[in-house]
């Protein structure tokens, strides 16, 4: 049986380097022609205008929103704090009622939550 002839295509030639075969292009790719400065400046200006027209991305913050009165504080926590405020108010003889004690308890707990957030951040 006659030996087979290997037909290498004109597009690629195979070179053996070490133990692996590497394909290289048979023809060199022509480099693009140089542009004159007037053309390249207009292309550069177009790139600058395009970049300026894009809106800049604002970084997203990962900080939690500050504590406020609409933040959920458990009812039991407010109730307990209002009880102690009421006890102190009655002992000291200060004016007030259960409603003002409740509002004061809630505002104290919100303020404490804000302080805790500041320490974390």
Q: Name the residue range of residue 112's domain.
A: 75-120
Mean pLDDT for the chain overall: 73
Residue 99 lies in a domain: yes
Residue 65 lies in a domain: no
Residue 18's region, left for phi above 0, alpha for psi from -120 to 50, else beta, is left
Distances (CA, A) of 54 to 39, 40, 44, 48: 23, 21, 16, 10
Cα 66 to Cα 75: distance, rounded to the nearest angstrom: 20
Cα 102 to Cα 80: distance, rounded to the nearest angstrom: 9
- Global pTM value: 0.42
Tokens of 45: 């200006």
**Count: domains in the chain:** 1
The confidence band for 7, taking pLDDT boundaries of 50, 70 and 90, is low
3-state secondary structure of 104: helix
């Amino acid at each position: 049986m006659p030996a087979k002839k290997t037909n290498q295509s004109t597009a690629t030639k195979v070179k053996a380097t070490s133990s692996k075969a590497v394909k290289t292009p048979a023809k060199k790719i022509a480099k693009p022609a140089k542009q004159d400065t007037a053309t390249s400046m207009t292309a550069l200006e177009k790139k600058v205008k395009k970049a300026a027209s894009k809106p800049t991305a604002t970084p997203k913050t990962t900080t939690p929103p500050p504590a406020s009165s609409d933040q959920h504080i458990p009812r039991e926590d407010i109730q307990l704090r209002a009880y102690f405020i009421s006890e102190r108010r009655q002992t000291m003889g200060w004016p007030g009622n259960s409603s003002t004690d409740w509002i004061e308890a809630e505002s104290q707990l919100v303020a404490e939550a804000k302080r805790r957030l500041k320490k974390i951040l």
